Amino acid sequence: MSTLKEVLRKKIDEHRPRTVKLIKECGDVSLGEVTIAQAIGGARGVKCLVTDISYLDPMEGIRFRGKTIPETFAALPKVPGSDYPYVEGFWYMLMTGDVPTMEQTLEVVEDWKKRSQVPEYVIDVLRAMPRDSHPMTMFSTAVLAMQRDSIFAKNYREGKFNKMTCWEDMYEDATNLMAKLAPIAAYIYRMKYKGDTHIDADPNLDMGGNFARMMGVDAPYDDVARMYFILHSDHESGNVSAHTTHLVASALSDAYYSYSAGLNGLAGPLHGLANQEVLGWTQDFMAKLGGEVPTKEQLEKALWDTLNSGQVIPGYGHAVLRKTDPRYSSQREFCLKTEGLKDYPLFKLVSMIYEVAPGVLQEHGKAKNPWPNVDAQSGVIQWYYGVTEYDFYTVLFGVGRAIGCLANITWDRALGYAIERPKSVTTAMLEDAAGIK
């Protein structure tokens, strides 16, 4: 029995009475009203989800279990010789809310290793798919294929469902899935883009180290992986990938069904695919200029051309944030402190976009947030380290996003969150309510 699971059990036991009390004694307390604009406009700002895994303040950005990004990086045990923490320790922190000791972290490292073997049938499924399938389609399919191994689904089928203990099956499924995601992602990468050559994991490495190895990219790409997975893990539970995962899990679907669905949402151009789109936009623009870094005037014109053609500026704007995304800043800091990267033409262009795009978007007057989000910066780092197949970038996002989504649905089960079922109204009802009929 792992320490993480035992600590989690204690935390769940302590937490449950709070949720029960809130429903039983305070269930009628209002958290606000819902306007017509919110009903039509994607439920923006409607407070109807609960999560303790992370909280997104519009001005401050994300806090994981109460910690800002720099606080998170500073608090967690570091991989020896590395500037960045173990992803496994971060998983412990998101699950339990506690910063693990090195010993507790290494226990998770070992646990993931034991669970990391990708079943042969998953490889067969991936190999049977057309090679030009989008890597997100492959990734989501691989996750869905593993549903046959769900411990939750098996026990449910066998009549062993128990509301108080079913979180344990979710935890087992979530951990089994989490441990396999990076190897699956690396397999897809090497199958699709590297002549179908594959590199075995090294039992002495952590998840981030092994991911870099299996991708075939040298250090410091292991640190890039650790940073990237942690930064992309969670952004409260209302974003499309987290909310979809939660919604599907609320029907008592298992972790595989739920996260595969979450990945399908992440694959949309307004969500995770934006990081691929950023790089596509930037590369196309540089290509038009013959590879030269543009002047600010040329850049401004290109941004206006994009807006005037009815497209969004990828990597800019956010549904909740109203300032520069700290996940953007954190990756920017990495670029600035990394020799070679800080003078890299593509990074210079991304930095120049940061100087010019907010002004353009403000003048354009539509986007509520003219500042960059996480996707505006991540592609350039991947490109620099030779991961130039930008179709693949959302898969990287998907490996990281699993940490938050899976921690969330484990807690959903533990606290017995209900099946999700918001109420619909008709357009005529809205017109009635507005008195315009």
Q: Which stretches of the chain bind ligand FCX, using CB under 6 A?
A: 44, 239, 270-272, 274, 307, 312-319, 366-369, 373-375
- 318 is annotated as an active-site residue: yes
Question: Which letter, b or e, does each residue of 299-327 get, where b requires 16 or more Cβ atoms within 10 Å of its Cβ?
Answer: bbebbeebbeeeebbbbbbbbbbebbbbb
Q: Which residue is nearest to ligand FCX (CB)?
A: 317
Annotation marks residue 243 as catalytic: no
Question: How far is Cα 345 from Cα 380, in angstroms, rounded to an integer?
Answer: 10
The residue among 76, 15, 19, 94 whose CA lies nearest residue 403 is 94
List Cα–Cα distances, 242 to 194, 223, 267, in angstroms.
31, 25, 13
In whole angstroms, how close is the CB of 357 to ligand FCX at the nearest point? Answer: 8
Catalytic residue among 173, 234, 325, 375: 375
How many other CB atoms sit within 10 Å of the CB of residue 70? 12
Distance in Å, CB of 64 to ligand FCX, minimum: 16
DSSP 8-state symbol, 326? H
CA atoms of 42 and 408, how far apart (whole Å): 21
| Contact (Cβ atoms closer than 8 angstroms) between residue 370 and residue 316 | yes
Q: Which of 232, 243, 246, 318 is catalytic?
A: 318
**Nearest distance from C-beta of residue 339 to ligand FCX, angstroms:** 28
- Name which of 116 and 237 has its Cβ closer to ligand FCX: 237
Cβ contacts of residue 168 below 8 Å, gap of 6+? 5
Angle at 44 (CA atoms; ends 43, 47), nearest 5 degrees: 75
Nearer to ligand FCX, 8 or 313 (CB): 313
222 is catalytic: no
- H or E element at residue 54: strand 54-57
Helix axes 326-337, 221-231, angle to 10 degrees: 170
Q: Which one of the listed residues 222, 232, 271, 325 is annotated catalytic?
A: 271
Q: Helix, strand or coil for residue 320? A: coil
Q: What is the closest distance, in whole angstroms, from the C-beta atom of residue 90 to ligand FCX in the complex?
A: 19
Closer to ligand FCX at the Cβ: 328 or 384? 328
In the complex, the smallest distance separating the C-beta of residue 404 from ligand FCX, rounded to whole angstroms, is 12
**DSSP-derived secondary structure letter, 233:** S
Nearest residue to 56 via CA among 248, 244, 313, 323: 323
Closer to ligand FCX by Cβ: residue 315 or 400: 315
Closer residue to ligand FCX (CB): 60 or 202: 60
Cβ neighbours of 274 (radius 10 Å):
27
Residue corresponding to tokens 């429903």: 23
Nearer to ligand FCX, 76 or 240 (CB): 240
Closest CB 281 distance from ligand FCX, rounded Å: 10
- The residues that are catalytic are 271, 318, 375
